[in-house]
């Protein structure tokens, strides 16, 4: 290696870093659509809507409304105003992440736009935590949105066409989620992050994202455990983004091959958001707001109550586009991880 | 205001922050196409290519090759290996920023994907500087790419159709640019950043990006000067991203209305990259790699030599998509600013 510089003070191992100030997630906001409202977490969202258009002229306009309302719920719950937020880190699935850009315009918060597909949640949490931990922001916002009807027509077929979907397909969540971070105050803490490499096992089927994303999740989880010297049992929960029914056994198997048994602590947001017995979501949920809304509405509360003490949250994303798919390319994937911990008082 | 927390130590005013470690840009890499090679900066790129496909099967594959090669040039010039880079912050204009994701896969560097359209350069430099300054990364990479032929067919008409363009239209640069940042070593420094708000003056013409983006540039420049108490004359150059011939007089006028005269020090990357007298680029250049390649190949050298001591770099981006345009929406824009300074020895 040709480079010799001082070790950066917050680094841990090859790819992980610590946040010594332990930014608090002082409040979250969530909003979800009809399918999500009918799922197991239905009672936990700040708002649910039965109209998939949210009174807007298009689903695209509705999606940005999901993000805007999620942010407003979070700000209200924190007792802040929008002007209290220094910077926003946000993303969504639409081309040119227009949901985020238009929401940022309406919210009037300086914004960094991110795209890691369904891994955007943890990219946004990582960078918001970095901004607060490093003292670049006093208060930062991480926000994501997705909408079944916009994703369907952008990635696959006209939504109204109602194309038949294979059982490996996942259902894009119609939801918005927001997380407010501050260096002080109450709330679950973000203590570490392990960003992901782009991993590509050569899969090409856009109706089987779970199989494509599982290797990226395994890569990041293994890197995190290696960097920290921790074991899966050091976590109350290893929570992947949306590997759903097909990807879930794969990530467990891939990690078992590397000597890590996560089975006892592993959950997946794609399996928590819907009830696959009752709801026709095929393999489970997906979308940037699948993990977003699950964590904002459900996991945050369990951490705040001290019911969960330490969670490794690993959102997963498939980074292809319709163009790359049509040009015969494989599906590169990424998974970014953050460590969420209960408030100091609650979690010990 | 309901919130009372300690002032974050690196903040300056409302929206600006400082990088006390002054991350160095130890090396840059650049690659450009035929039009750019024939322009005024042609001799300064690390590599120029006459084949717009770069030997690839599609322009989309060529665009990611531009990013990959720009990174490899930078790494070679720094005397590093790809494995020396902790994290990459990158973005491009394509749907789902596939150039960045596929390049990150091939480079095998953990990656955060960004989208701020043509403002992506300064978003990437800001976050890479934050990662290095805060000690989260030892060495970080900021990279952007754009390609005339991919942007044309994605945003406007099939490239081969050769649609006639109005004189306000800009020419998307075919180029890639990479910047390697480290906490130590030689090279121009990044000392501050001022992220942008999303600004929308209600313009709707996607063939006149300069007019749409000028208000965002003016907003960020004014915020920066207000936050720092500086005057335009404190800079050797205020360098906007790609406002080109239409947006350049507008940003000067908008700032004059706020009491800031930037005329003596203002330059625009959209006017530096091409020679509008000789080259048929209409209003000038645009694209994430227009400012990227101009700064990597030209401005970085002038800073390294101490010929420029302090530059306010303000990349500008139009955040619409073809979908929002077709749905009759306006064009929201953003501009992120970073302060680049000559190396300590050279710049005093």
Is residue A309 classed exposed, middle or buried when 0-12, 13-18 and 19+ CB atoms within 10 A define those classes? middle
On average, the pLDDT of chain A sits at: 95
pLDDT band at residue B62 using 50, 70 and 90 as cut-offs: very high
Hey, where are the domains in chain A? 9-182, 189-343
DSSP state of B299: I
Closest approach of chain A CAs to the CA of B65, in angstroms?
Answer: 14
A15 interaction partners in chain B (CB closer than 8 Å): 86, 110
Q: Which among A3, A108, A324 has CB closest to B84?
A: A3
B332 interaction partners in chain A (CB closer than 8 Å): 101-102, 104-105
Contact B97 A115 (CB under 8 A): yes
Reported as a single tens digit per residue, the pLDDT across A160-208 is 887 888 889 999 999 999 999 999 999 999 999 999 999 999 999 989 9
Reported as a single tens digit per residue, the pLDDT across B96-117 is 999 999 999 999 999 999 999 9
Residue A6 pLDDT > 70, yes or no? no
Q: How far apart are CA B321 and CA A39, in angstroms?
A: 33
The pLDDT value given to residue A347: 44
Residue A302 pLDDT > 80, yes or no? yes
Reported as a single tens digit per residue, the pLDDT across A47-98 is 999 999 999 999 999 999 999 999 999 999 999 999 999 999 999 999 999 9
Residue A4 pLDDT > 90, yes or no? no
Residue B162 pLDDT > 90, yes or no? no
DSSP state of B57: S
Beta strands A333-341 and A310-318 are antiparallel
Q: How far apart are CA B90 and CA B249, in angstroms?
A: 30
Locate the chain A residue with the closest alpha carbon to B11.
A136
On average, the pLDDT of chain B sits at: 95
The pLDDT value given to residue A81: 97
Q: Enter the pTM of the model.
A: 0.97
CATH of B9-182, one of 3.40.50.740, 1.10.4160.10, 3.60.130.10, 3.40.47.40: 3.40.47.40
ipTM computed for the complex: 0.96
pLDDT band at residue A2 using 50, 70 and 90 as cut-offs: very low
Q: Which among B2, B104, B114 has CB closest to A114?
A: B114
Reported as a single tens digit per residue, the pLDDT across A11-52 is 999 999 999 999 999 999 999 999 999 999 999 999 999 999
- Token code pair at residue B197: 């708000």
DSSP codes of every residue in A257-317: HTT---TTTEEEHHHHSS-TTTS--TT-EESHHHHHHHIIIIIHHHHHTTSS-EEEEEEEE
b or e along B232-257 (b: 16 or more beta carbons within 10 Å of the residue's beta carbon)?
beebbbbbbbbbbbbbbebbbebbee
CA proximity to A128, closest of A221, A212, A53, A24: A24
Residue B347 pLDDT > 70, yes or no? no
Q: Which among A86, A196, A332 has CB closest to B110?
A: A196
Name, in order, each residue with C-beta under 8 angstroms of B256's C-beta and a sequence gap of 6 or more: none
Contact A200 B138 (CB under 8 A): no
User: SS3 for B58?
Assistant: coil
CATH architecture designation of domain A189-343: 3-Layer(aba) Sandwich (3.40)
Name, in order, each residue with C-beta under 8 angstroms of A156's C-beta and a sequence gap of 6 or more: A163, A206
Give yes or no for a contact between B184 and B24, defined as CB atoms under 8 angstroms apart: yes
Other Cβ atoms within 10 Å of A343 Cβ, number: 18
DSSP codes of every residue in A168-195: T--EEP-EEEEEEEESSSSS-EEEEEEP
Give yes or no for a contact between A315 and A241, defined as CB atoms under 8 angstroms apart: yes
pLDDT band at residue A336 using 50, 70 and 90 as cut-offs: very high
Closest approach of chain A CAs to the CA of B61, in angstroms?
Answer: 9
Reported as a single tens digit per residue, the pLDDT across A208-266 is 999 999 999 999 999 999 999 999 999 999 999 999 999 999 999 999 999 999 999 99
Name, in order, each residue with C-beta under 8 angstroms of B68's C-beta and a sequence gap of 6 or more: B103, B106, B107, B176
Contact A321 B7 (CB under 8 A): no
Q: Which among A131, A133, A182 has CB closest to B5?
A: A182
Residue A8 pLDDT > 80, yes or no? no
Distance of CA B140 to the CA centre of its chain: 16
The pLDDT value given to residue A158: 84
Give yes or no for a contact between B170 and B210, defined as CB atoms under 8 angstroms apart: yes
Size of interface A-B (CB pairs under 8 A): 239
The pLDDT value given to residue B9: 83
Average of per-residue pLDDT across B20-32: 98
Give yes or no for a contact between B299 and B121, defined as CB atoms under 8 angstroms apart: no
Reported as a single tens digit per residue, the pLDDT across A122-152 is 999 999 999 999 999 999 999 999 999 999 9
B329 interaction partners in chain A (CB closer than 8 Å): 102
């Amino acid at each position: 290696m040709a480079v010799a510089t001082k070790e950066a003070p917050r680094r841990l191992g090859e790819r992980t870093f610590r946040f010594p100030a332990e930014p608090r997630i002082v409040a979250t906001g969530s909003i979800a659509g009809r399918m999500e409202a009918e799922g197991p977490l239905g009672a936990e969202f700040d708002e649910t809507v039965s109209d998939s258009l949210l009174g807007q002229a298009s689903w695209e306009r509705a999606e940005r409304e999901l993000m805007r309302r999620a942010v407003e719920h979070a700000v209200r719950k924190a007792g802040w105003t929008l002007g209290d937020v220094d910077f926003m880190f946000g993303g969504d699935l639409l081309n040119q992440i227009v949901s985020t850009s238009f929401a940022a315009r309406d919210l009037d918060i300086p914004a960094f736009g991110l795209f890691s597909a369904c891994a955007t949640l943890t990219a946004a949490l990582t960078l918001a935590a970095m901004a607060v931990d490093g003292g670049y922001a006093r208060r930062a916002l991480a926000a994501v949105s997705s909408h079944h009807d916009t994703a369907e027509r952008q990635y696959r077929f006209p939504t109204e066409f109602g194309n038949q979907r294979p059982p490996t397909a996942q259902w894009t969540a119609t939801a918005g989620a927001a997380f407010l971070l501050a260096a002080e105050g109450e709330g679950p803490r973000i203590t570490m992050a392990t960003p992901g490499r782009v991993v590509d096992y050569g899969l090409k089927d856009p109706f089987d994202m779970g199989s494509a994303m599982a290797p990226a999740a395994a890569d990041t989880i293994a890197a995190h455990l290696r960097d920290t010297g921790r074991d899966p049992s050091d976590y109350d929960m290893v929570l992947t983004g949306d590997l759903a029914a097909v990807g879930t056994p794969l990530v467990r198997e891939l990690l078992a091959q590397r000597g890590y048994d996560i089975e006892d602590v592993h959950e997946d947001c794609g399996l928590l958001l819907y009830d696959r017995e009752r709801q026709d979501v095929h393999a489970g949920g997906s979308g940037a707001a699948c993990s977003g809304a699950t964590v904002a509405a459900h996991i945050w509360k369990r951490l705040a109550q001290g019911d969960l003490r330490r969670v490794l949250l690993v959102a997963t994303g498939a980074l292809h586009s319709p163009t790359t798919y049509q040009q015969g390319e494989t599906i590169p994937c990424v998974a970014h991880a953050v460590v969420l911990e209960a408030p100091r008082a609650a979690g010990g």
